[in-house]
Amino acid sequence: MSRPLGLLRAGYPYLKTLGMRRVCNYPYDVAFGPDEKIYILCRTSGGAFIRVWTFDDAERLTDDLVQIGGYGTDDGQFQWPVQIITDCEGNIYVSDEATHKISKFAPDGEFVSRWGTEGNGKGEFTAPTGIAFDPEGNIVVADSGNSRIQKYTTDGKFVSEFGSEGDGDSELKNPWGIHVDELGDIYVADWGNDRIQRYSNEGELKMSLKGETPDGVCINRPTSVSVDLHGDIYTTDWNNDRVIVYDSTGRYVWKFAGDATLSRVARDYMMTNAYANRLREMTNLEEEKYFRSPTSVRVDNKFRICVADHHSYRLQVYQKESIELDENSIAPPMRNHSLTTV
């Protein structure tokens, strides 16, 4: 899919909430699978796993909810997982900043392999966080503890690296989330420097985005970054409890603060629990809708935006509504872009 000449963004309506605490306890990241499947990476103190769910939220609270992995240090287990991705064959990859490993699972959830060596040399990393595929099929890793970006083959062979620690233009400080777009550009949530960095596939800085919004509030500890097929950039502004959207040039477009309603599975649960219903009657429902420490934002090929609402144990889903513009529906660039009315 090629990017349009312009875009008429009609809005980002809220679609639904997915999950609840008994389904996705402290969701940390999300990946998309076949047949409307969602992989929810959950991480809490003493617990870590992948919950397999669907967009229609039709599963029920039973004792056999589908889960991949578990907490621990053995093969197929995690301690502090950060990001989850899937390849074109449906294999699942997870980074773990505590064990300094990348784990691979087959589409059916069976453990396949893991690799990684703690250190600061080439081919080593300390606390790997974000992972993403580049157009060549390599895995790009945010080596957070060493403040650099590294590339590996899918079986863990070192390919290349770039970046160094600092707050200079092209430097990084504890990079967190990462995304590679279809053009090969690498986007990094530069957590310690409160900005989004965009690099070429070879590691040359192309854009640095501090991201002040119209209310004067700047990004504060970004934890993830995603780019949709139009080139729009999404980041979770963790300390400000919001998600911000920019266009491909870094121009501010939109922000989300949360619009949650009860998920389908949560409603089913509430209808079997009279005590929980009484407590909800005593709750300020206005406050319930907002994000609480969102850790991840992901956009699928249908432009559905999934936000891991970490401290509220749920996903909030939005829909990007837009119309692609061609040369007949948008004027050429203007030197003075201010709008006037007659």
C-alpha dihedral over 272, 276, 278, 281, to 10 degrees? Answer: -110
pLDDT, averaged per 10 consecutive residues of the chain (342 residues), comes to 90 95 93 94 93 80 81 96 96 97 96 96 95 97 97 95 96 97 97 97 95 86 97 97 96 95 90 90 89 97 97 97 94 68 46
Pairing of β 27-32 and β 321-325: unpaired
Cβ atoms 313, 20 nearer than 8 A:
yes
pLDDT, the chain, mean: 93
User: Which residues lie below 8 Å from residue 22, measured CB to CB, with a gap of 6+?
Assistant: 61, 269
Cα separation, 250 vs 233, in Å, equals 8
Query: Residue 38: phi, psi to the nearest 5?
Result: -125, 135
The fold of 20-254 is: Neuraminidase (2.120.10)
The number of residues making up the chain comes to 342
Cβ atoms 160, 150 nearer than 8 A:
yes
The answer to whether the predicted template modeling score (pTM) of the entire model surpasses 0.75 is: yes
Cα separation, 49 vs 271, in Å, equals 27
* Spans of all domains in the chain: 20-254
Cβ atoms 173, 166 nearer than 8 A:
yes
Convert 48-70 to b/e letters by CB count within 10 Å (16 or more is b): bbbbbbebebebeeeeeeeebbe
Whole-angstrom CA distances from 132 to 1, 153, 206, 237 are: 19, 11, 19, 20
Quick one: pLDDT at residue 246? 96
Structure tokens, 157: 């062979």
Cα separation, 333 vs 330, in Å, equals 9
Residue that the structure tokens 């074109």 belong to? 88
Cα separation, 84 vs 32, in Å, equals 9
Pairing of β 77-78 and β 70-71: parallel
Quick one: pLDDT at residue 336? 63
Q: What is the CB neighbour count within 10 angstroms for residue 124?
A: 15
Cα separation, 287 vs 260, in Å, equals 10
Structure tokens, 267: 């409603």
Backbone conformation region of residue 275, classed left if phi is above 0, alpha if psi is from -120 to 50, else beta:
alpha
